[in-house]
Amino acid sequence: MASTALPAPTLNDRLPFGFLAYVGVAISMMICYFDLIVGVASDFVAVETLRLNPHFQAVLMWVFGLVAVFGLSLDWKAHGRMLPLLLGVLGLGIVVGTLYVYYEATILMTGYLIMLIGAFLNQNLMLRFLNHTVGTQAAELAEFNTTLERRVAEQVQEIERLARLKRFLAPEVADLITNEGRESLLESHRRYIACLFCDIRDFTPLSERLEPEETMDLLQSFHERVGRLVTQHGGTIGYRAGDGVMVFLNDPLPCEAPVLKTLQLASEIRRAFAEIRQGWQKLGYDLDIGIGIAAGYATLGMIGTEGRVDYTAIGPVVNIAARLCDLSDHGRILFNQRAYLDVEHAVRTEALGPLELKGVERQTEIHCLVDA
C-alpha cells in the first residue's frame, strides 16, 4: 500500500493563521501614526526627540503594506480564495494614493481598514484550510490504522512463506521467488536434475541404544552440516526424513554441470560426517553414512497442503538415487550410468557393473566415486 502523502511544509507553517498579513498592516500603521505614538509615549519616557523623515516614513508605510499583501498572496496559494488578496491590494493602493496623490486622513484610515478586513477574512480562510487539512490527515490516518492489521497479517504470511521456502530452497532462490514474484518457477514441470540421497546407516537400532537427547543432538548436527553444504552448492532440499535427506540440483534455477556439483557436494558431506563420526566413536558408537546419486529427468513442483508444503521431485531418477543410497556402505558415493556419462572425464570412478535395484525394472549400471 502506498504511503500517505502529507502537504509539504510552507512559509505558513512558520507564520500560521495569516499572521504575516497582520504584521505588515500593524507595522505600517504604527509608522503612519509614529508621531502620535511618540507623543503618547513621551508622557512616560523621554522620546520626544524621535522624529522620522516624512519621505522615509512614507516609504516604510507602503513597504510594510506590501509585506502584508505578500503575506496574503502566500495564504491565497494555500486556501485558494482571491478576495482577501484583492482587499489587501485595494487597501494598499488607497494608502499609496493618499501618500503621493491626495492626502486625506479619513481616506488613509479607510485604506488600512480595508487591509485589516482582508487580513481578518484571510485568517478565517486559513483556519478553515488548516482544519480541512487536519481533517483530511485524520481521515487518512484512520484509514491507515484500519488497514494496518490487514497489512501486518499479510507481511507475517509473507515472512512465514519465505521461511517455508528457505527450508528447502537456497536462500537466494527463496528471495528471488518472494521478492520478484517468480512463483512460476515452483509450478509443476519437467527438468533434468542430479538427485542425491544420504542417510545414516542402521540409525533405527542405533537410536534404541542412545538417549533421546543424544539422538536429537546427532540428528541436529547432521542436518545442520548437510543443510549448510547444500546452500553453499545452490542445491534444493526435497525433504528431510529423520536420519536422511534428499537433495537435487539444476532446479528451480538451472546450473552448469549439475552432476559434477552434486558429486562435489557428496564428497563434502562425507568429509563433514567423518568429523561428526569421530566424536561418536569415542563414545563407542560406530556411525556410517550412505550416499547415492542419480541423474535424469524428473517432475518437480509443490506438494502438500496449506501450512505444510514441500517443493520436491518425483520420478525414476529419485527412486534410483534412493536405492543407490541404500546400497552404499562405508561412505561410498554411488551413482548411475546417466550421471557417469556427464562426469566420466572429470572424476575418477570405479564400475561396479549392472545390479538389480528394488523397484527398478531394468538392471542399473552402477559406478563408485574414487577419491583423487
Of 97, 119, 140, the residue that ends a domain is 140
User: What gap in Å lies between CA 139 and CA 23, rounded to an integer?
Assistant: 34
Residues 94 and 206 placed together within one structural domain of the fold: no
Residues 356 and 221 placed together within one structural domain of the fold: yes
Phi, psi of 44 (to 5 degrees): -120, -30
| Res 217 pLDDT > 60 | yes
345: its cell numbers: 572425464
Residues 88 and 220 placed together within one structural domain of the fold: no
Identify the weakest region by mean pLDDT among 121-130, 225-234, 329-338, 356-365. Answer: 121-130
Q: Residue 345: give the domain boundaries.
A: 169-370
Residue 17 Ramachandran class (φ > 0 left, ψ -120 to 50 alpha, else beta) = left
Residues 173 and 287 placed together within one structural domain of the fold: yes
Of 94, 124, 140, the residue that ends a domain is 140
pLDDT value for 269: 95
| Res 333 pLDDT > 90 | yes
pLDDT value for 45: 58
Burial zone of 3 (CB within 10 Å; 0-12 exposed, 13-18 middle, 19+ buried): exposed
Span 190-202, average pLDDT: 94
| Three-state SS at 15 | coil
Closest CA to 301 of 321, 280, 315: 315
Tell which wins on pLDDT, 311 or 228. 228
The answer to the question of residue 151 being in a domain is no
CB contact at 8 A, 295 and 250: no
User: What gap in Å lies between CA 297 and CA 319, rounded to an integer?
Assistant: 12
Residues 124 and 192 placed together within one structural domain of the fold: no
| Number of Cβ atoms within 10 Å of the Cβ of 35 | 12
User: pLDDT category, 294, cuts 50, 70, 90?
Assistant: very high
Give the position of cell 515452483: 186
Residues 181 and 308 placed together within one structural domain of the fold: yes
The answer to the question of residue 281 being in a domain is yes
Closest CA to 34 of 11, 58, 12: 58
The gap from C-alpha 50 to its chain's centroid, in whole angstroms, comes to 68
User: pLDDT tens for residues 339-370?
Assistant: 999 999 999 999 999 999 988 888 999 999 99
| Res 22 pLDDT > 70 | yes
pLDDT value for 260: 96
The answer to the question of residue 54 being in a domain is yes
What percent of the chain lies above the pLDDT cut of 70?
A: 83
Residues 118 and 196 placed together within one structural domain of the fold: no
Span 314-321, average pLDDT: 95
- Average pLDDT taken over every residue of the chain: 83
- CATH code for the domain in which residue 219 is found: 3.30.70.1230
pLDDT value for 31: 83
| Res 139 pLDDT > 50 | yes
pLDDT value for 2: 41
Phi, psi of 106 (to 5 degrees): -65, -40
pLDDT value for 61: 84
pLDDT value for 162: 67
The answer to the question of residue 135 being in a domain is yes
User: pLDDT category, 246, cuts 50, 70, 90?
Assistant: very high
The answer to the question of residue 164 being in a domain is no
Altogether, the residues listed in the chain come to a count of 372
Residues 132 and 181 placed together within one structural domain of the fold: no
User: What gap in Å lies between CA 127 and CA 77, rounded to an integer?
Assistant: 14
| Residue 103: DSSP 8-state | -
pLDDT value for 4: 43
The answer to the question of residue 1 being in a domain is no
The answer to the question of residue 190 being in a domain is yes
Tell which wins on pLDDT, 277 or 51. 277
Residues 107 and 179 placed together within one structural domain of the fold: no
User: What gap in Å lies between CA 333 and CA 352, rounded to an integer?
Assistant: 12
Q: Within a 13 Å sphere around the CA of 309, how many CA atoms are in the beta-carbon half? A: 17
Residues 55 and 201 placed together within one structural domain of the fold: no
What percent of the chain lies above the pLDDT cut of 90?
A: 31
Beta carbons within 8 Å of 175's beta carbon, 6+ residues apart: 162
End-to-end CA distance of the chain: give it in Å, rounded. 57
Residues 267 and 130 placed together within one structural domain of the fold: no
Tell which wins on pLDDT, 330 or 39. 330
For the chain, how many structural domains are there in total?
Answer: 2
Tell which wins on pLDDT, 333 or 89. 333
Residues 114 and 193 placed together within one structural domain of the fold: no
The answer to the question of residue 352 being in a domain is yes
Tell which wins on pLDDT, 329 or 164. 329
Of 100, 124, 140, the residue that ends a domain is 140
pLDDT value for 7: 45
